[in-house]
């Protein structure tokens, strides 16, 4: 079933996208001929899969972008191009995350869904970068990592549901039912995760230092101060001034731990660890994960971050797997 092109965007030419993204993992919500849905990231893949779950003839897959932390220098493969051209629906994160797709989208024939539309996004601040050309790492006006807040991730699912219901009216009721099920499942997730961070006998958490600039929504959702977010490119070398600045932050706030991103570089973090004695722990941006079975995969990713934060500040394993 090939759909006519319907672009759900503020402006159809708004394809200026750049940021961080997903490990390849194709999967299906249905089998056989029918509606093909292509998600650009793991979070959009999870939400699209939840909204289309059990709907006959709907197939959901995701782009083969590899296990990388940021996509600003990603180049689409021939197979990626074929997937984009053949998809009936392309579900995008938006908000400046997928600039590598700008040219390809001009020839895409399917419905393009920008999941960031209508969301209250954070404006990008001047990012700290380790020994790199800041112009090469411009992620646009808006911070695109909104899926790290469960409430905004749910709005992503709502945008997907609305677009699919319009494009595939015969299954609109099924998409609506799946969204309602998703909203019920995710209700209270943010409060639950926040409570884990601030439980009465838990460690004091004066603030986070992350070696990835995508954790602002996560920190805000859990009411954790974000003291510094450093975007470090693989193979980059920190200057003595940069190491000294972060070292001072660690010492002033008596931080027992700083955080890297699972697919990112940890060179500077390890240098600061040697200087201060603080530990280095990993957080995930949820840009990779297993083939969809349920939204538990999304929750588990956020929970693993909370677990890393609480255990890191406690200096021991005080928070077990949920």
For residues 238 and 103, membership in a common domain is answered with no
Q: What is the pLDDT of residues 45-101, one digit of tens each?
A: 999 999 999 999 999 999 877 666 666 667 888 898 999 999 999 999 999 899 888
d(CA 24, CA 21): 10
Residue 50 lies in a domain: yes
* 19 and 166 both lie in a single domain: yes
Question: pLDDT, tens digit, for every residue of 163-182?
Answer: 999 999 999 999 999 999 99
Residue 296 lies in a domain: yes
Give the pLDDT score at 134. Answer: 41
- DSSP for 227-244 reads EEEEE--TT----HHHHH
Task: Return the top range by mean pLDDT from 66-80, 125-139, 238-252.
Answer: 238-252
132 and 200 assigned to the same domain: no
- Kindly state whether residues 175 and 42 are assigned to the same domain: yes
* Helix axes 296-314 and 150-167, enclosed angle (nearest 10): 170
Strands (E), 180-317: 208-211, 226-231, 257-261, 279-283
Is 71 found in the same domain as 144? yes
**Looking at the domain assignment, is residue 319 inside a domain?**
no
Averaged pLDDT for residues 39-50 = 96
Residue 165, domain extent: 7-186
Taking the model in full, what pTM does it have? 0.86
pLDDT, tens only, 266-315:
989 999 999 999 999 999 999 888 999 999 999 999 999 999 999 999 99
Residue 279 CA to residue 157 CA, distance in Å, equals 36
DSSP 132: S
User: How wide is the angle at C-alpha 54 spanned by C-alphas 50 and 60, nearest 5°?
Assistant: 55
Tokens representing residue 128 in the block: 């700290």
Cα–Cα distances in angstroms (integers) from residue 241 to residues 39, 140, 213, 275, 277, in the given order: 41, 27, 19, 13, 18
Model confidence at 235, pLDDT cuts 50, 70, 90, reads: low
Q: End of a domain among 159, 186, 213?
A: 186
Give the mean pLDDT of the chain. 85
Q: pLDDT-derived band of residue 234, with 50, 70 and 90 as boundaries?
A: low
In 3D space, the residue among 2, 74, 75 whose CA is nearest the CA of residue 36 turns out to be 2
Are 108 and 227 in the same domain? no
Do 175 and 235 lie in one domain? The reply is no
pLDDT of residue 65: 74
Q: How far is CA 261 from CA 86, 99, 119, 159, 247, in A?
A: 33, 21, 25, 28, 19
Which of 135, 167, 186 is the C-terminal boundary of a domain?
186
For the record, the structure tokens of 17 come out as 């996208």
Q: Is residue 154 part of a domain?
A: yes
Tell me, yes or no, whether 2 lies in a domain: no
- 64: CATH: 3.40.50.1980
**Whole-Å CA distances, 74 to 42, 50, 62, 77, 98:** 16, 27, 15, 9, 9
- How far is CA 180 from each of CA 96, 171, 189, 293, rounded to the nearest angstrom? 28, 14, 15, 18
How many domains are contained in the chain?
Answer: 2
Exposed / middle / buried, residue 139 (Cβ in 10 Å: 0-12, 13-18, 19+): buried
Asked whether residue 201 falls in the same domain as residue 224, the answer is: yes
Give the single-character DSSP code of 262: T
160/208 same-domain check: no
Is residue 322 a part of any domain in this protein?
no
**223 and 126 assigned to the same domain:** no
Q: Check whether residue 127 and residue 99 sit in a common domain.
A: yes
The pLDDT assigned to 100 comes to: 82
């Amino acid at each position: 079933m090939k759909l006519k092109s319907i672009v759900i965007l503020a402006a159809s030419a708004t394809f200026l996208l750049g940021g961080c993204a997903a490990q390849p993992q194709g999967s299906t919500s249905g089998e056989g001929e029918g509606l093909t849905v292509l998600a650009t990231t793991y979070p959009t893949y999870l939400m699209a899969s939840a909204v289309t779950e059990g709907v006959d003839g709907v197939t959901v897959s995701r782009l083969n972008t590899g296990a990388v932390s940021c996509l600003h220098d990603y180049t689409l493969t021939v197979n990626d191009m074929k997937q984009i051209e053949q998809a009936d629906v392309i579900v995008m994160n938006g908000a400046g995350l997928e600039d590598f797709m700008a040219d390809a989208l001009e020839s895409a024939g399917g419905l393009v869904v920008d999941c960031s539309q209508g969301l209250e996004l954070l404006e990008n601040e001047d990012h700290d970068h380790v020994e790199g050309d800041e112009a090469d790492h411009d992620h646009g006006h808006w911070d695109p990592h909104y899926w790290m807040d469960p409430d905004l991730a749910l709005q992503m699912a709502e945008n997907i549901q609305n677009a699919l219901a319009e494009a595939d009216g015969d299954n609109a009721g099924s998409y609506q039912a799946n969204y309602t099920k998703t909203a019920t499942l995710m209700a209270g997730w943010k409060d639950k995760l926040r409570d884990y961070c601030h439980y009465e006998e838990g460690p004091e958490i004066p603030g986070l230092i992350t070696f990835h600039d995508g954790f602002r929504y996560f920190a805000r959702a859990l009411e954790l101060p974000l003291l510094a977010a450093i975007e470090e490119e693989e193979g980059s070398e920190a200057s003595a001034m940069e190491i000294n600045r972060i070292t001072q932050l660690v010492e002033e706030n008596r931080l027992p731990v700083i955080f890297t991103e699972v697919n990112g570089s940890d060179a500077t973090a390890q240098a600061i660890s040697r200087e201060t004695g603080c530990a280095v722990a990993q957080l995930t941006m949820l840009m990779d994960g297993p083939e969809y079975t349920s939204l538990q995969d999304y929750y588990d990713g956020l929970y693993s971050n909370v677990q890393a934060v609480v255990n890191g500040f406690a200096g021991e394993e005080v928070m077990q797997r949920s």
